[in-house]
C-alpha cells in the first residue's frame, strides 16, 4: 500500500486524514506542486520549491518548512514507495480552522495542512504518446486572473479535459481574446521554421518549471525562441506544436481542432527538445 505524508507523519494512504473544515476542501484555498521522478531522483526540485514559496506568498501563506526539509520529505516518499519513475504531488492549504468562514484564519492558531503522495508511472520517460503526438481542441479560457499562482482550483481545467475527451482529443488549449494562453495542465508552444514561439510570462499563465528549463536548453542549442502571444489560427498553420509540464516533459502536438500540423507527425524540434530535456534533467536530478 502507498505511504503518504500528512502533517509530519508517514502513513498508509487509508489511514491519512484531513478535516472536513479544511479550507482546501471547502474553498480551494491551497496551492500544489507536481515534481517528476526519474531514476528514483527528483527533476527540477529547486524550481518547484521556489515556485511553491511564491504561490504561498501571493496568498499570504508561508512555507511550512525549509526547502531542505521539504526535499527530505520528497526523498523519503520516493524511498518508502520504491518509485523509479513517476510523480510526487504536494499540496499545502490554509488549514482547518474548525468551521466555515470566508475570512482567513489566524495563521498563529490554524496551521497549514501539508500533504504529499507519490504516483508510480513506470515508462513515464519512454512514453508511446511522445512518439505519436497528441491531438488538442481549443476552448475559451474562462479561468480567474491569477493563473500564475498554482492553486488547487482545477475545476475548469478538469472540464476542459472532459471536453477534449468527448471530442475524441487528448487535451485542450485555452484561448483568450483569440490568443492561446496555455493547455489545461501544461504550457503551449508552436514552431515555425527554426523558431519556437510561446506566450510570455504574466498572470495569464502558470510559470512552468519545465518551460523555463526547456527554453534555456533551446537557447543553448542555438534555437530561436520568441516569447509572444500567438493566435489559434497561427497555431493551426504552424509547422509543429508541443506542450511542456512536469508530468509530460515535452510532448508533441500533431493536431489542433482537427487540423493536422505539418505532415501530422511529431516533427523535428519537439522530439529533439524532449531528448535534450530528459538527458539534461536526469543529469541534474537530485
Residues with catalytic roles: 150
Instruction: State which residue, 231 or 247, has the beta carbon closest to ligand PDD.
Output: 247
Closest contact distance (angstroms) between CB of 101 and ligand PDD is 28
Instruction: State which residue, 194 or 202, has the beta carbon closest to ligand PDD.
Output: 202
Instruction: Round to whole Å and give the CA distance between 272 and 255.
Output: 19
Instruction: State which residue, 182 or 255, has the beta carbon closest to ligand PDD.
Output: 182
Task: Give the residues lining the site for ligand PDD (CB under 6 A).
Answer: 34, 182, 185-187, 206, 208-211, 244-247
Residue 161 contacts by C-beta under 8 Å, 6 or more apart in sequence?
171, 172, 184, 185
Phi, psi of 165, deg, nearest 5:
-60, -45
Instruction: State which residue, 100 or 165, has the beta carbon closest to ligand PDD.
Output: 165
Phi, psi of 253, deg, nearest 5:
-115, 125
Give bridge partners of residue 224 from the DSSP assignment: 195
The C-alpha cell at 211 is 518551460
Helices 269-284 + 209-220 axis angle, to 10: 110
Closest contact distance (angstroms) between CB of 157 and ligand PDD is 6
Closest contact distance (angstroms) between CB of 206 and ligand PDD is 4
Closest contact distance (angstroms) between CB of 258 and ligand PDD is 23
Give bridge partners of residue 180 from the DSSP assignment: 175
The C-alpha cell at 203 is 498572470
Amino acid at each position: 500500500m502507498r505511504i503518504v505524508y500528512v502533517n509530519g507523519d508517514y502513513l498508509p494512504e487509508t489511514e491519512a486524514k484531513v478535516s472536513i473544515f479544511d479550507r482546501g476542501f471547502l474553498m480551494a484555498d491551497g496551492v500544489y506542486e507536481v515534481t517528476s521522478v526519474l531514476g528514483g531522483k527528483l527533476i527540477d526540485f529547486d524550481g518547484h520549491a521556489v515556485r511553491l514559496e511564491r504561490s504561498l506568498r501571493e496568498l499570504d501563506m508561508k512555507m511550512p518548512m525549509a526547502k531542505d526539509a521539504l526535499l527530505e520529505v520528497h526523498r523519503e516518499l520516493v524511498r518508502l514507495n520504491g518509485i523509479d519513475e513517476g510523480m510526487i504531488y504536494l499540496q499545502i492549504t490554509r488549514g482547518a480552522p474548525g468551521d466555515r468562514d470566508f475570512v482567513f484564519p489566524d495563521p498563529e492558531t490554524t496551521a497549514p495542512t501539508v500533504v504529499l503522495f507519490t504516483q508510480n508511472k513506470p515508462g513515464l520517460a519512454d512514453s508511446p504518446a511522445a512518439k505519436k503526438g497528441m491531438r488538442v481542441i481549443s476552448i475559451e479560457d474562462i479561468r480567474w486572473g491569477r493563473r500564475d499562482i498554482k492553486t488547487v482550483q482545477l475545476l475548469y481545467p478538469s472540464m476542459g479535459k472532459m471536453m477534449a475527451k468527448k471530442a475524441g482529443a487528448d487535451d485542450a488549449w485555452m484561448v483568450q481574446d483569440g490568443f492561446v494562453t496555455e493547455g489545461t495542465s501544461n504550457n503551449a508552444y508552436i514552431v515555425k521554421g527554426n523558431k519556437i514561439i510561446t506566450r510570455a510570462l504574466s498572470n495569464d499563465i502558470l510559470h512552468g518549471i519545465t518551460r523555463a528549463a526547456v527554453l534555456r536548453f533551446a537557447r543553448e542549442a542555438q534555437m530561436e525562441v520568441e516569447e509572444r502571444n500567438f493566435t489559434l489560427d497561427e497555431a493551426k498553420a504552424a509547422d509543429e506544436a508541443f506542450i511542456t509540464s512536469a508530468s509530460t516533459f515535452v510532448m508533441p502536438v500533431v493536431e489542433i481542432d482537427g487540423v493536422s500540423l505539418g505532415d501530422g507527425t511529431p516533427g523535428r524540434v519537439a522530439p529533439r527538445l524532449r531528448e535534450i530535456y530528459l538527458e539534461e534533467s536526469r543529469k541534474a536530478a537530485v
